[in-house]
Amino acid sequence: MQAFLHSTTATPTAVVVPPSLALPVIESAFPRQLHPYWPQLQETTRLWVLEKQLMPEGKVQEYADGLCYTDLMAGFYVNAPDEVLQAIADYSAWFFIWDDRHDRDIVHGRAGDWRRLRNRLHAALDAPRHHLRHPDPLVAGFADSVLRLYGFLPRTWNQRFARHFHAVIEAYDREFRNRTQGYIPGVEEYLALRRHTFAHWIWTDLLEPSAGCELPDAVRENPAYRRAALLTQEFAAWYNDLCSLPKEIAGDEVHNLGISLITHEGLTLEEAVDEVRRRVETCIQDFLEAEREALRFADAIADGSTRGKKLSTALRANVSNMRNWFSSVYWFHHESGRYMVDSWDDRSTPPYVTNETAGEK
């Protein structure tokens, strides 16, 4: 169903997009969609975060809905069965909370805590059932969400998902070292790392349980499909960098495309913003071409066989959801309290995070 062009939170208000961040082509050519299960999704994910003790109760009550994590997922995996979308939304909420823990570990110099968490997440990814009662809620919550995701498709999909997320964990470790050492990666190095810290291939993998079909390698690796998927995620990552730049400069960050451009290409702040925006806009235009190629590929694999029809239908559903990611990401960045840095008491410390030492000691 098409969503209203205003906030999906419980108290809808008109969304005002700053001119510097406005993308008229998204607002006109990418109609916003929202899964009809969204209201229940928001409630159930909030309860899951509380049950798993991933955020203090007071912060959940005050901030969870306004962070709009479920809105983002409900606007992307629009055709997913309700139980699949619920598992994805819970996993996504966990991912944002993990990202916050990673940030606080860096800010407070908790190298030992981060190293232990990194190792435990690797272990939980390979054997989630054995980590459901782990004393660190972040490990136990991860195990719960991963175990549920592993229940939708065959073992081969689970193994691929695990392989991709092991790479994400290692990329977060690389970012930890970069930030604690004050190392700003060059532009190409940053872009390669960003594909993992943004979990490009995780969100693409999750298209398949949403469509109820694991795609064979020959389909997933087809250049038309892979290019459309990559452009979807590049747009999301770079638009995130564009919107996050004020927050990350305030927090003395080193991981942002704009910061790499300023440091290594000699751009001014204004020029860097213009360059990131140019890349974002190019992603949109390139996706429109890639989308057509991917849909032609979907037509080509509908060869009259039952399997061909199933794969073609799943591929079309996945490409449709790739398109949804553009509008979902765009509006998320203007509705979520995660990016409303001007309203924070301390621009370097998000009010929704737990700023004390977290996890098992």
Residues 30, 46, 76, 95: which is the catalytic one? 95
Q: Is 96 a catalytic residue?
A: yes
Q: How many Cβ atoms from other residues are within 10 Å of residue 275's Cβ?
A: 18
Helix ranges restricted to H, the chain: 24-29, 38-51, 57-67, 69-74, 82-107, 111-126, 137-149, 155-181, 187-197, 200-205, 207-211, 217-220, 223-250, 257-265, 269-301, 306-335
Q: Is 198 a catalytic residue?
A: yes
Q: Pick from 100, 48, 30: which is nearest to 288 by CA?
A: 30
Q: Is 332 a catalytic residue?
A: no
d(CA 254, CA 260) in angstroms, rounded, equals: 8
Residues 198, 287, 297, 332: which is the catalytic one? 198
Q: How far is CA 298 from CA 111, 307, 313, in A?
A: 47, 12, 8
d(CA 194, CA 152) in angstroms, rounded, equals: 28
d(CA 123, CA 102) in angstroms, rounded, equals: 17
Residues acting as catalytic residues? 95-96, 198, 338
